[in-house]
Chain A
C-alpha cells in the first residue's frame, strides 16, 4: 500500500502548478476573474480560456496526444485537477463535452467521429451540452418522447444518404443557452421496448429547426435552457453507438457522470480548506458564535477527505484492471452531500452576512457555491434514484 506519488508525478504536478500560476486569469494580472459563465460575454471568456489551455496541451491531459491530450494516466489527471482547483482556475465551460461525452466517444465512436469531434471539443471551439431530460422524462429517463425518424435520401443514395429527422423537446440543458452542439437521446423505434428503441445523436445547435429558450436558474442567470427540435435533419454519421443502442451508450455517459470523471476530489478538498480558513477568521472575530459550528466544519472537512481517499481507492482498482460499477452511485451520493455540507456550513459561519450579494448584485463565492451545491442532489440522477441503485445493485434488494 502506497499513497505517494512518484517523483515523475511530482514533476508533472510542479509543471502544472507553474503553468497555472502563470496563466490563470487573475485580478492581479488584470485578466480575471472571468465574468459569469452563464452570460454571453462570460461564456466566450471561458471558451477563450479553454483555448489557452488547449494550446499548451493542458485542457484534456488524459486524452491521447492525437486528440490534443498528453496521454497522461488517471493519477496524473487527478494531480492536474488538484492543481486546477488549488489555483482557483475558471469553471470548465466544456465540462459536459470533455468529462461526459468524450469518454463515451472514446468507447463507442467511430475513428471518423473521434477525429471530427474530440479535438474541437478539447480546444473549446465546440462546446457541448447534454440533451437528455424532457418535461415528462426526468428521473424516468427512458420515458423520453422526442423522436428520431429515418428518411432515406434520394433513390439509390445508399445508407450514406440516410438522414434522421428529429422532433421534440429537451430541457434543463446546462449551458444550452450558448452551446454549439448537443448530445441527446431520441426515440428511434416507438414500437420497441422502451429502453431498446433509443438512439444517441450528436446535433449542431445551429441546425435549422433547433430553437433554444434560455431558462434562468436560482441565481437569476441563464445556466440552462430548453431546446426544441422541429424537423431537424441529422446525417446518419451523427449517431453515436448503434441505432437502438442509445440506452446502453447513455448509461456509459451516466457512469462517467457519477463515477470518476465529473467531480474530482480536489473540488471538495479545496473548498474544505477554504472552509477551515473561514472558520479561523470567524473564530477570531467571535469565538463563541463560530464555535457553535465547529463540529459541522470538521465533519465537512473529513467527508471531503474521505471522498479523496475513496477516489484513490477506486483509481487503484481501475488501474489494476477493475471497473467502476454501481459503486458510482455511492460516489454521486457522497460528493453531492459533501458539497452541500461544506457550502451550507460556510453560510452558517457567515450568519446574517450570508444573504448579502456583492456590489455587482451577484452572489459572492460562498453563496454562489451554496446555490450550485443545491443542484448536486438533483442532477446526474437524483439522490433518491442513486439510493435505489445502491440498494438494488450493490446490496441486491428486490425491485419494487
Chain B
C-alpha cells in the first residue's frame, strides 16, 4: 500500500504546470474562445512536445508508454490551468481504444494513427449516439463514433460537421453526420459492449480528474479574492459565512481527489470494481466542481457575474463537464445498481 504518486509523476505535473503558467494565462484562454478552433495548435504542439499528448501511446509508436495513473495528474492539472485543448478524449479515451482494437483492423488503425497522435498531428474526438453533439469534433482528425452499439473510427474527411455553439467557449460542439461502413468498424456486438463500457469508465475518471482541477482552481480563486476584497473595513474572508462556504467547498474537492486517483489505478489495473470506482469518482468530482463554482461565484459577488472577470472561464467548464459522461446522480444510480448486484 502506497497511495501516492512517484517522483516522476509529480515532476511531469510540475512541467505541465510551468508550461500552463506561461502559455495558458486567462488571456490565452480568452483568445482560444475567440478563435475559430476554440483551442490553439501551437499549444497542442507544445503539449505534444512535452509528451502530454502521447502519454498513453506506447513507445513503439513514439509515445511515453505510460498509463492512466500517470495521466490522471496531468488531466487534473489541465483542469486547474483551464487548458482549452480537448486532452481527455485523445489521451484517456481514443488512444486506449486504438491500442486495444482487435484484429487486423486494430493493427491498421494503430499504425495509421498512433504515431501521429504522439507527434501532435492528430486529435481524437469521441461521440456517442446519446450525445446531443460531439465535443472537440472540429479540429479532430479522427472521430471515434458509436452507433447502434457499434464503435467506428471515422477520419475527419468522412464526416460532415454542423457547429453547435456551447456555453464554454473552448468546448466546440458539433453535430456529426456520418455513415458507418465495414471499413470504419472497430468493434461490434458483445465485444463492443465491453469496449464502450470501458470507454465510459475512462471518460468518467478522466473528466472527473479535470473537474477536480477546475474545482481546485475555483476555490483558490475565491479564497484569494476573499483576502483581497474588503467591505465594512475588513477583508470579506474574515466573515464567517464566507469562510464556511469556502471550507465546505474545499472539503468536497479534497475528498473527491483520492477517489479520482483510485479510479485511475483501478482502470489501469483492470480491477473488477473499476466501473464502481469510476462512477464513485465522477459522482464526487461533478458535485465538488458544481459546489465550487456556486461558492466561488457567491464569494465574488457581482464582479464574478461578469464576462470580464476570469471566473466564468472555469465555472462554465465545471458546469459542462459535471454533466458530461453522466452527471452525479446518474453515476450514483449506477453505484447503487452495481452494489445491489453483488450478493452480500
> Which residues, 187 to 246 on B, are CB-close (under 8 Å) to A?
219, 223, 226-227, 234-235, 237-240, 242-244, 246
Q: In whole Å, how far is A310's beta carbon from the nearest beta carbon of chain B?
A: 5
CA distance A263 to B285 in the complex (A): 24
Q: Which residue of A lies closest to B332 (CB)?
A: A298
Q: Contact check, A306 vs B284: say whether CB atoms are below 8 A apart.
A: yes
Partner of A397, one of B4, B227, B256, B332: B227
A-B contact count (CB 8 A): 148
* A1/B250 in contact, CB under 8 A: no
In the complex, what residues of A have CB within 8 A of residue B226's CB? 397
Interface presence of B128 (CB below 8 A)? no
- A390 and B1 in contact (CB under 8 A), knowing A294-B333, A298-B332, A309-B262? no
Chain A residues whose C-beta falls within 8 Å of the C-beta of B240 in the assembled complex: 384, 388, 400
* B247: Cβ under 8 A from any A Cβ: yes
Determine if B2 is an interface residue (Cβ-Cβ < 8 Å). Answer: yes
For B265, what are the chain A residues with a Cβ–Cβ distance below 8 Å? 1, 3
Contact across chains for B262 and A5 when beta carbons are under 8 A apart: no
Q: Which of chain A's residues have a CB closer than 8 A to the CB of B244?
A: 384, 387-388, 391
With known contacts A388-B243, A395-B223, A395-B246, A295–B5 Cβ distance under 8 A: no
Number of interface residues of A (CB under 8 A): 52
A297-B239 Cα distance, complex, nearest whole Å = 34
Give the Cβ gap from B246 to chain A, nearest Cβ, in Å.
6
Nearest A residue (CB) for B254: A330
* Distance to closest chain A CB from B283 (angstroms): 6
The answer on a CB contact under 8 Å between B3 and A313 is yes
| B69: Cβ under 8 A from any A Cβ | yes
Bitwise interface map of A from 300 to 320 toward B, beta carbon under 8 Å scored 1, else 0: 011101110110110111011
Q: Which residue of chain B is the closest to A309 with respect to CB atoms?
A: B258
Give Cα distance in the complex from A279 to B242, angstroms. Answer: 37
Counting CB contacts under 8 A, is A372 at the interface?
A: no
What separation, in Å, do the CA atoms of A398 and B258 have in the docked complex?
28
A99 — which chain B residues lie within 8 A by C-beta? none
Q: Does B255 contact A (CB under 8 A)?
A: yes
Interface flag for B259 (CB, 8 Å): yes
B243 touches A2 (CB 8 A): no
The answer to whether B332 touches A3 (Cβ under 8 A) is no
Spell out A's residues near B (CB within 8 Å).
Answer: 1-6, 9, 75, 273, 276-277, 279-280, 283, 294-295, 297-299, 301-303, 305-307, 309-310, 312-313, 315-317, 319-320, 327, 330, 333-334, 384, 386-388, 390-392, 394-400
